[in-house]
Chain A
Amino acid sequence: MIPRASHSVLRQARTQLKRRTGPTPVASLSALARLLSSLAVLEQKNGKLNHGSLGAVTAAQKLGGSIIGFVAGGNIKAVAEEAAKVGRVEKIIAVDNAAYDKGLPENYAPLLVENIKKGGFTHIIAGHTAFGKSLMPRVAALLDVQQISDITAIEDEKTFVRPVYAGNAIATVESSDDIKIITIRGTAFAAAEAEGGSASIEDGVDPKAECTTEWVSENLAKSDRPDLATAGKVVSGGRGLKSKEDFDRIMLPLADALGAAVGASRAAVDSGYADNSLQVGQTGKVVAPQLYLCAGISGAIQHLAGMKDSKVIAAINKDADAPIFQVADIGLVGDLFDKVPELTEKLKQ
């Protein structure tokens, strides 16, 4: 381990980016921890910090070393102040420019690259969200780094664990890049406490890169229910619901009775029973709530990839042989059109 660590430290020290930080590399892990500095890329929308993105800080805490947060957008002061309260964050780098409000990778990537070069960070961490997925590979390419996507665990400063093949295999990979660019699976790294810290706030460099893409509009599903990706409870419906009307009539009251977010299987989404953004699975959202209660979902492995880390899985399905029962902690064989309304009624009492 020692020779390997020493090799890594030397490698970091050799790079142009680390040259300024200076201390003579010593072949010990404590020295390594001191050299390590992580940049957590935090998301904001309409002047509000996205607390879901604080999972990046949690990952940085696990790595050890110093933690710096990064935010950008118009009137960023309030967001920066909010982020400065997050536990163990030493500094927030804030860039006040409305050009970064929509997180367009064409100008956000050069912005990050300039700030990474200036700060000499060893680890850049963002959530594996739509924002992180679109932005970070571009940043990685500009820095000539092979990104590590959607990690679920950190073994040491260069060794990470990530699911592959729709979660059917778990790979442990070691990076030889000087800078580690990582996106994290939100359900594996809970958001860091948004209080107790008192980080300083510093203006970042703004290269004002030209953006060849303009934001036109967005169409976001409005809901008073909890956010699917971070909800403590999720109720999810599948093909068995038969129509959008039935989906809304059967599943939404159950969600409200439990205070749960609503999810759906690929089949339900494809058939138009539920919005695309509600899809749970390999190509949709990955959730890991306390309770995942699903009805009319057979349990294709593509769907299981998105929910099998839930604490308790309960399933209602009329097919006693449905694969979902192989993973469900509680299974009920029956017609969901009878059982779900009954369950909803009894939960309300």
Chain B
Amino acid sequence: MSALRILVPVKRVIDYAASSSSIAPISHSKRKQNKNLIRHALQVKPRVNKAQTAVETAGVKHSMNPFDELSIEESVRIREKKSYPHGVSDIIAFTCGPPKSADILRTAMAMGADRSIHVETKDGDEIEPLSVAKLLRAVVDKEKVDLVVLGKQSIDDDAGQTGQMLAGLLGWAQATQASKVSFEGDGKGVVVEKEVDGGSETTRSNLPMVVTADLRLNEPRYASLPNIMKAKKKKIEKITAEELGVDLGKRLKTLKVIEPPPRQGGGKVEDVDGMIAKLKELGAI
């Protein structure tokens, strides 16, 4: 058996503090700070553009999809904790997105990825999960990857499809919404605890496989300044979708994007009796 080669796809999305606060795991010490973020977030939540064709992205802070931070962290931990018996030889970060997506590849490398692959697209182009899965399949074949760790969903499209699609295309085992990943001594078996409706479920699969990270998998580290500097020297390989033999044509056409109807708060009551009276009035009890 040889050392593990891990592929970690990452996506550049509207910053979660702006789109949906408190997605990334937060430590106790950061709670207070985060509370302020939540306050702030409510004022700068994603806005639909005037033409109602998309969410306004120009001038909005972007960062790595928080679930993808968990995937990078998990991959780096597999290496650091030597949890895979034959070690980890390569951690490759991958993204498909506009030129600015290179920033999040640098972040991934500052967290511990060895190198990156960037399939560059035009600003504003949205690539569907099926196309991304096909790109990833091509990269897996090219780089002889044995484990792909993805986030369970991106917080912009909220589709939650790419990992499962990739596993299907490759015919590999899959473990979605993983909260714990461990390796068996034989270097083949991977035991994954997954979050399911009503609790958790544990499955055992053989490598190669695809794992998608849930919130509770780990707490991602912050990239230290020296590591950020080192990451600048690491390589980003640019490759086109054509070179990988993938058509990025879309199957879904977005006809319209609107804001959800606003909910009107009904005002406050003075005491518990007032609350019970109002609950009865509204027919809720």
Contacts and interface: CB of A to CB of B under 8 A. Distances in A.
Contact of A212 (B42, B205, B254, B265): B205
Contacts, number: 289
Interface stretch (A74-82, A140-148, A195-203): A140-148
B268 A147 contact: no
B160 to A, nearest CB: 6
A140 B28 CA distance: 40
Given A134-B176, A141-B168, A148 B195 contact: no
Contacts of A246: none
B253 A173 contact: yes
Interface stretch (B92-100, B104-112, B255-263): B255-263
The main secondary structure of chain B at its interface with chain A is mixed
B203 A214 contact: yes
A149 B159 contact: yes
B200 A219 contact: yes
B185 interface: no
B21 A302 contact: yes
Given A164-B157, A174-B255, A331-B269, A213 B205 contact: yes
Interface string B218-245: 0000000000000000000000000000
Nearest to B23: A302
Contact of A145 (B201, B216, B251): B251
B177 A138 contact: no
Given A137-B168, A169-B257, A212-B206, A175 B272 contact: no
The main secondary structure of chain A at its interface with chain B is mixed
Contact of B285 (A106, A146, A327, A347): A347
Nearest to A160: B252
B254 A173 contact: yes
Interface stretch (B4-12, B78-86, B125-133): B125-133
A277 interface: yes
B173 A267 contact: no
A196 B136 CA distance: 47
A51 interface: no
Q: Which 5 A-B pairs have the closest CB atoms?
A: A137-B164, A141-B168, A146-B251, A220-B199, A329-B266
Given A175-B252, A291-B285, A346-B273, 6 more contacts: A135-B164, A149-B159, A150-B158, A239-B31, A308-B260, A312-B283
10 contacts: A104-B203, A133-B176, A137-B162, A146-B250, A165-B20, A275-B199, A314-B279, A329-B282, A342-B272, A346-B273
